[in-house]
Amino acid sequence: MVPHIRPAQLPQWLQQCRAQDATALPIVLDVREPWEVQTASVRADGFELRHMPMASIPMRLAELPKDRPIACLCHHGGRSAQVAHFLHRQGFDDVVNIAGGIHAWAHELDPSVPQY
């Protein structure tokens, strides 16, 4: 089972990650298409931001470390949930989905993020 967190819960999740392992910088994995990332993106603050479109994940799996927490992000949370479940099935134990995606991120964390 992959947990879902709201963007407003992300700071707490990051804090929990740091408490478990202060050396493992969490990753926010943005699985949107390049045009979406150009339209609206988030600022990395306390995490590493990586962009891998959903369709590229299977062939780029080796680029993702299994020993770091990963929070998956998309537009509304559907694609990122699919990727989070896929990663979990591939042996990634510390994976969450950011429910509501970047759309909710703009409402809950950073209103400067454009909505589309």
Placement of tokens 């969490």 in the chain: 26
Global pTM reads 0.96
Output the six-digit token pair for 52.
């891998």
Output the six-digit token pair for 9.
């819960």
Residue 72's SS3 state is strand
Q: Can you tell me the distance from the alpha carbon of 70 to that of 96, in angstroms, rounded to the nearest whole number? A: 6
Residues 31 and 83: beta-carbon distance below 8 Å: yes
Point out the residues that are catalytic.
Answer: 74
Q: Can you tell me the distance from the alpha carbon of 116 to that of 102, in angstroms, rounded to the nearest whole number? A: 10
70-73 β-sheet, strand order: 4-5, 95-98, 70-73, 27-30, 48-51
pLDDT at 22: 85
> Span 4-108: which CATH code?
3.40.250.10
pLDDT digits (tens, 9 = 90+) for 13-71: 999 999 999 888 999 999 999 999 999 999 999 999 999 999 999 999 999 999 999 99
